[in-house]
Amino acid sequence: MTGFRSALEVSRGFYAEVIRPVVEVPHAAGLLGWGSDVLGYDTERSMDHGWGPRLQVFVDDVKPVREAIEANLPDEYDGHAVRFGWDAQEPTHHITVTTLSGWLVDHLGFDASKGVSLEDWMVTPQQQLQGVVAGSVYADDGRLEPVRAALQWYPDELWRWLLMCQWSRIAQEEPFVQRAHEVGDELGSRVVATRLVRDLMRLALLQSRAYAPYTKWLGTAFGRLGHADGLDRVLAEVVAAGDHADRERALTTAYGLVARRHNALGITPEVDPSPRQFFDRPAMVLGAERFVDACQATVTDPRVRALGMFGAIDQFADNTDLLSNPSAYRKLIGAFRPPAEA
């Protein structure tokens, strides 16, 4: 890793030295959208695939700015090829000159500069929202900051609803770890426990008001939250557990930690964070439905309350081809409209 400079840093210099001198109109520019580099997760390994100087330049009149940039691009910058490709993509430069509205529609599926509807929030994957608010802005004439501010995090009552739906996912499966073990399905017990670990990680991100990136970087994003209470260590113990007793012990410890984090938010009356027996069966659970009820009771907006308990798109879908393709996931917008509007 010696001498490695992140793409955010390389692109900052590229903008200042190459792009800024030839853009003579009001504009905004930054490295946004897709990629580990936008999230600040790139390493030297990233340089072997789709990595190099790139950014977006947002203007009103695209054609003359695009022509000026293309006429002045060098072959290399800071030792990196300016025109690069990967897999089946032919080498080309990755300086996108566009209107902000056009880019938002391409990236999100809607123009967030004109407002964000409830349906927009629900159908847009967190990784796409994160692509707007993460990354670096190198110049802004005032058009970009309001959009990034508007998309920084969910409206409060919607956030509470998403917390409720995430608790519901846990409530649905927490007794299955013991039940699968009881019938001799140790692999099934491990699989359910691992699913619950992932749901707890995503719950912790929601509690911290942090968007979850796509699967490759979920653990990285979770790790960077910081875990003074040891939640990261306990979840690792769940995954590593060699038998049901250790698995259940680690899971119930993790439940208690996220329950205490919930209480620390102060958004509901305090809920008892201690584990309990699942009715009369020999399974120890949190009883996550209690947190579902507590969150639901704080939501007063009738449009939010009319939403399905299945949550936002990330809470019921995880297919990459869906979550990375606005034209695909926008087809699901009817799932978030009241029946009379769908």
Q: How far apart are CA 308 and CA 329, in angstroms?
A: 17
Residues 6+ apart with CB under 8 A from 28: 57, 58, 100, 137, 139, 140, 141, 142, 143, 144
- Ranges of residues in the chain with a pLDDT under 70 are 1-2, 339-342
Distance of CA 95 to the CA centre of its chain: 24
Q: pTM for the whole thing?
A: 0.94
Three-state SS for 237?
A: helix
Q: How far apart are CA 167 and CA 153, in angstroms?
A: 19
Q: Which long-range contacts (CB under 8 A, 24 or more apart) does 39-48 make?
A: 39/130, 39/134, 39/135, 39/213, 39/217, 39/221, 40/6, 40/8, 40/134, 41/213, 41/217, 41/220, 42/6, 42/7, 43/1, 43/4, 44/1, 44/4, 46/7, 47/4, 47/80
What is the average pLDDT score of the chain?
Answer: 94
pLDDT digits over 16-51, tens only? 999 999 999 999 999 999 888 999 898 888 777 778
pLDDT digits over 103-128, tens only? 999 999 999 999 999 999 999 999 99
| Element at 94 (helix H, strand E) | strand 89-98
Q: How far apart are CA 335 and CA 342, in angstroms?
A: 7
Q: According to the model, what pLDDT value does residue 1 have?
A: 40
Q: Is the dihedral of CA 291, 315, 308, 174 positive or negative?
A: negative
